[in-house]
Amino acid sequence: MTVFAHPEFDRHEHLSFGHDRETGLRAIIAIHNTDRGPALGGCRMFPYSTEEAAVRDVLRLSRGMTYKSALANLDLGGGKSVIIGSPQQHKTEALLEAMGRFVDQLGGLYVAAEDSGTSVSDLRVMRRRTEHVAGITQRIGFDGEPYDGDPSPATAYGTFVGVQAAVRYQLGRDDLEGLQVAIQGVGNVGYRLARHLRDAGARLWVHDVRDIQMERAVDELGAIPASAEEILYLPVDVLAPCALGAVLDDASIPRLRTRIVAGAANNQLARPRHDRMLWRRGILYAPDFAINAGGIIDISYERKPTEPAVVRRHIERIGDTLTELFDRSAKERLPTGLIAERLAEDRLKEAATAARG
């Protein structure tokens, strides 16, 4: 396995491998860029089949966080960590404390948050060994509701605002009444997004691999159940991938019948070139790292008490950022994902120049 020559390495600042003899912890922390501030990113626990797969995942996710935070104008860099193991079988308090010690060794360059396979309560266990943990404080959230650190409500709201911006741009309408939306994955984020959309009058089709999730969306929101095979290919206005990454690829893109792709899942494009493929087909793609930044925006306010309305307005600026990306994409005749990366890179350069004085 190569590291510096790894295809996903992309100028990472730091990569650490942590092992704990007593608990068997095997974890990796990747820090992509700290020009704008400490690298905040989730700690994912997953039973990777190979170490290569874990390294690839942590590098890709960590880079994504740099771009996400820069586009959302946060004073944060990009980083991520992974624990190799099954959350159901291998997660113990001792292992999480060992992860906390590993995070602590970096002295705050990396700050861990919740991710798939870890929960707010897991992060609280890590907090026993390091202060460099985020998304664990109970407070009033952006929506005025009590909040326990789970970023999903903010991510779902930001994604909803992003869908509105995409609809305004692509379909020229301000309301969502009767808008047809297919949602793949109705978990923490997808379900809440579905609820916002239903409240705004949209008609929903949903698919989830877990029956219980699917039933909740059907029973509580009146969504129409769709099969795994059909959910991506329904003739709808908006397709919202909210389950897993790499759903937009050579096989799926030619078969899409949507006008817009706007969902919360990370790394929706299987390869960077799929951005161009969507653009050529006239499908408006809301870049994932732009539209799903609500959670990180919310977490960024954790240590500086702020009026919920201010946080909410920051999340709502996701809509303005997307509109700017769509406009530039049309003007410069370039796909939206590429424009989003360029805008984030401009912001990183500004931060690096400012830091050098």
Residues that bind ligand NAD (CB under 6 A): 116, 151-152, 155, 184-190, 207-210, 213, 228, 242-244, 264-266, 292, 295
Cα–Cα distance measured from residue 190 to residue 237, given in angstroms and rounded to the nearest whole number: 17
Terminal C-alpha separation, the chain: 38
Considering the complex, what minimum distance in angstroms separates the CB of residue 173 from ligand NAD? 26
Q: Which is nearer to ligand NAD, 210 or 349 (CB)?
A: 210
Considering the complex, what minimum distance in angstroms separates the CB of residue 163 from ligand NAD? 14
Specify the 3-state DSSP secondary structure of 342.
helix
Neighbour-count burial for 49-73, b at 16+ CB within 10 Å, e otherwise:
eeeeebbbbbbbbbbbbbbbbbbbe
| Strand-pair partners of 318 | none
Q: Residue 348 has which token pair? A: 């990183």
Q: Residue for token digits 């590993």? A: 102
Q: Which is nearer to ligand NAD, 119 or 323 (CB)?
A: 119
Cα–Cα distance measured from residue 100 to residue 131, given in angstroms and rounded to the nearest whole number: 9
Backbone region of residue 84 per phi and psi (left: phi > 0; alpha: psi in -120 to 50; beta: other values): beta
Q: Which is nearer to ligand NAD, 85 or 241 (CB)?
A: 241
Give the CA angle between residues 38, 43, 44 to the nearest 5°: 145
Considering the complex, what minimum distance in angstroms separates the CB of residue 354 from ligand NAD? 27
CA 284 to chain CA centroid, nearest Å: 19
Considering the complex, what minimum distance in angstroms separates the CB of residue 187 from ligand NAD? 2
Considering the complex, what minimum distance in angstroms separates the CB of residue 207 from ligand NAD? 5
Specify the 3-state DSSP secondary structure of 15.
strand
Residue type, 206: V
Q: Which is nearer to ligand NAD, 98 or 205 (CB)?
A: 205
Q: Which is nearer to ligand NAD, 28 or 206 (CB)?
A: 206
C-beta nearest to ligand NAD: residue: 187
For residue 75, what are the CA distances in angstroms to 85, 106, 229? 32, 18, 41
φ/ψ of residue 340, rounded to 5: -65, -40
Considering the complex, what minimum distance in angstroms separates the CB of residue 144 from ligand NAD? 19
Active-site positions read 80
Q: Which is nearer to ligand NAD, 42 or 97 (CB)?
A: 42
